[in-house]
Chains A and B, each alone.
Chain A
Amino acid sequence: MTTTATPPETPIVKEQKRSRLPKSARAGGTLHGGPLAYVILTVFTLVSLFPLVWTAIAASRDNQRLAENPPPFWFGSNLFKNLEIAWQDANLGEAFLNTTIVAGISAATIVVLSTIAGFAFAKLRFKGRNALMLLVIGTMMVPPQLSIIPLYMMVAKLDWTDQLQAVIFPSLVSAFGVFFMRQYLLQALPDEVIEAARVDGASSWRVVWHVVFPAARPAMAVLGMLMFVQAWNDFLWPFLVLTQTGNPTVQVAVAGLGRGYTPDQSLIMAGALLGTLPLLLVFAIFGKQIVGGIMQGAVKG
């Protein structure tokens, strides 16, 4: 296959733009931040992180200590005990497995379908293309919450309550995903590469497999992470069709812990902490790519 143009490693628009400009020509973006900038950023970052750190602090205490003034500012000794109890009480083991299945299938399907559709919108010409693209963008404006009642009726009719497919099926498409992949492929996939493959006699499906997927890989990874986060944190719909004792996702389990009659706040915090840790880990490892993806999706939005 032709490898005339390799796609950029990371889909961060910023870096490409910057490198093209001579240093002297950049006024706004190159000014060094003064001390005040760092002070403001530090405060903002502390406010962003504090509730998460405090979740861990509260989870490491006991209920009695949380009903005293002043509230605790440092860790106690009950963290692992509380995590263990919360893990069992909230059915978190099953919840993790369920959420991984749901979010994994949802993210993988969205990524593949969005890449194929995004390629068609970015690089192929066909009748009705612009109208269909407008339709995709229009669907981004319709919140899924407005469709839940008939979906719920469907689930009731199919007897899918407490079954994972009830959550998986409605989460298989994302208009944002199509839009995101289209924007990426517009700039990352040169027409010449597709033409070369076509001249070699490749069918459209072969082009998708051998040219589009390799070129789109960085964006597919980012979209996959964004969609995984979204599915992992999805609340309303799983809350309606799954129950804490049946077949919960993490969010259903954590919410169930909070809405149940556990009087022990430190246990609730332990559950909230457990439910959040996996994604915080993902962000700690792939933070740079996720930031790049969000900014990439935003530029032409």
Chain B
Amino acid sequence: MATRSDIAASPVKGGAAPGRTPGSPAGKEDRRRAKLSRRWQRDARWSPYAFVSPFFLLFAAFGLFPLIYTGWASLHQVELTAPTDMNWVGLKNYTRIFDDDFFWNAAQNTLTIGVISTVPQLMIAMGIAHILNYKLRASTFWRVAMLAPYATSIAAATLVFVLLFGRDYGMINWALGAVGIDPIGWQDDKWPGQIAVSTIIIWRWTGYNALIYLAAMQAIPQDLYESAALDGASRWRQFLHVTLPSLRPTILFTVVVSTIGASQVFGEPLLFDPNKGASGGAEHQFQTLGLYLYEQGWVNQHLGRASAIAWTMFAILIVIGIINQLISRRLRASS
């Protein structure tokens, strides 16, 4: 009696069950069984909610509520020294940051660091995944080895790269010097600084993304390759016309995840700053929005203004999310 439909379709039945119980063959059963079955139904009906509620309660408390409250705080003057005193100032925090050149500088840096770090990262990851998809000796070794950077924390990785990128004694300038290139001020100049910060991000995440692409490649049906091969397509053309199109949803997924990650970059530029401040270099040359938020909130002690920055970032992410939705809908429609 208690079969698949009870488990699989309890919500539909949940509505219909009360009307059905009296008329069902259980009519002659004793009360104990009726009671048991009522308890059983209550269990089947409500336990799913009990199972998912801890997640939602904790998320509401530590994710959603703070996110919304950030919007409220962004309309107030709140200082780090007295975080519970809030004075209503309307949109003043927003006008203040939009008037601040360093905000636009940080927004621009976030964008350029995002592009410099994401595009090469995903392209290299795609190439590596393609190679990993061959039958290889020691395939587990290669996969684990390329995850080592993922196991390394931002703090540890950045501190090492600070030394490697050192202007006078760093290994990278030394190697460049060997081919006749003058020392580059990685921590002092704008583009070198952004490239260096992006390098740390690329180093940490390329192997991880390669595994994600590899997983998607292995899910591509082999007959697609066979028919392409029968049509005389070279391996390069197979990659272009079979692999890449099949990976489109995965590529979109990694682009979105990397974009969100890029919008949050914080630790790398913080620790890469030779002055150990929060300005992202002496000229703010690699200060990201995440770092700018920290500087406003915790160095300049304006939590209200920092909240306005957070909500501005949130708005940007919503726009990215909408664009993502539009693209993936088109992808689905075209395939």
Contact = CB atoms under 8 A, between A and B. Distances in A.
Interface in B236-259: 238, 242-243, 250, 253, 256
Interface stretch (A1-9, A76-84, A117-125, A213-221): A117-125
B7 A13 contact: no
Contact of A195 (B4, B152, B222, B314): B4
Contacts of A91: none
Contact of A33 (B12, B134, B164, B169): B134
Contacts of A283: 144, 147-148, 151
Given A29-B218, A194-B7, A295-B215, A153 B143 contact: no
B176 interface: no
Contact of B83 (A132, A157, A287): A157
A295 B63 contact: no
A9 B14 CA distance: 36
Main SS class of interface, A: helix
Interface string B151-170: 11111111111111000111
B135 A40 contact: no
Given A54-B171, A150-B69, A255-B271, A272 B160 contact: yes
- What range describes how many residues of A lie at the interface? 35 or more
B334 interface: no
B89 interface: no
Contact of B84 (A55, A156, A201, A284): A156
B234 to A, nearest CB: 13
B59 interface: yes
Contacts of B69: 150
A58 B163 contact: yes
B96 to A, nearest CB: 16
A33 B138 CA distance: 12
Contacts of A199: 2-3
A232 interface: yes
B149 interface: yes
Interface residues of B, number: 124
A149 B310 contact: yes
A125 B9 contact: yes
Interface in A88-147: 113-114, 116-117, 119-121, 123-127, 129, 132, 135-136, 139, 141-147
A173 B211 CA distance: 25
A208 interface: yes
Contacts of A31: 134-135
B145 A275 contact: no
Interface string B275-287: 0100000000000
Q: Which of B6, B51, B157, B264 has most chain A Cβ within 10 Å?
A: B51
B212 interface: yes
B214 A295 contact: yes
A52 B164 CA distance: 11
Given A14-B218, A298-B215, A141 B256 contact: yes
A296 B108 CA distance: 36
Contact of A204 (B44, B160, B169, B298): B44
Contacts of B154: 233, 235, 251
B105 interface: no
A265 to B, nearest CB: 6
A265 B160 CA distance: 10
A37 B136 contact: yes
Contacts of A55: 156, 160
Contact of A149 (B58, B145, B229, B303): B303
Contact of A117 (B14, B52, B174, B260): B52
Contacts, number: 349
A19 interface: no
Contacts of B148: 48-49, 52, 280, 283
Contacts of B47: 120, 124, 203-205
A237 B62 CA distance: 12
Contacts of B192: none
Contacts of B146: 44-45, 48
Given A150-B65, A291-B211, A203 B174 contact: no
Interface in B76-90: 78, 83-84
Given A126-B10, A255-B155, A272-B156, A27 B55 contact: no
B217 interface: yes
A291 B216 contact: no
B156 A287 contact: no
Nearest to B8: A125
A188 interface: no
Contacts of A186: none
Interface string A200-240: 01011100100000000000000000000100110110011
Contact of B267 (A44, A114, A170, A236): A236
Contacts of B11: 125-127, 129
A152 B81 CA distance: 12
A38 B142 CA distance: 10
B131 interface: yes
B269 interface: no
Q: List the 9 closest pairs (A to B, CB-CB), nearest first.
A: A287-B144, A204-B47, A147-B66, A33-B134, A295-B215, A120-B51, A126-B48, A150-B66, A272-B156
Interface of A: 13-14, 17-18, 21, 25-33, 37-38, 40-41, 44-45, 47-49, 51-52, 54-55, 58, 66-71, 113-114, 116-117, 119-121, 123-127, 129, 132, 135-136, 139, 141-154, 156-157, 169-170, 172-173, 175, 178, 191, 194-195, 198-199, 201, 203-205, 208, 229, 232-233, 235-236, 239-240, 250-251, 254-255, 257-259, 265, 268-269, 272-273, 275-276, 279-280, 282-284, 287-288, 290-291, 294-296, 298-299, 301
30 contacts: A14-B218, A32-B135, A45-B146, A48-B206, A48-B207, A51-B149, A54-B164, A69-B168, A113-B54, A117-B51, A120-B51, A124-B48, A146-B317, A147-B67, A149-B310, A150-B65, A151-B66, A157-B83, A175-B59, A191-B8, A236-B290, A258-B271, A258-B276, A265-B163, A272-B155, A276-B152, A284-B144, A290-B147, A295-B218, A301-B250
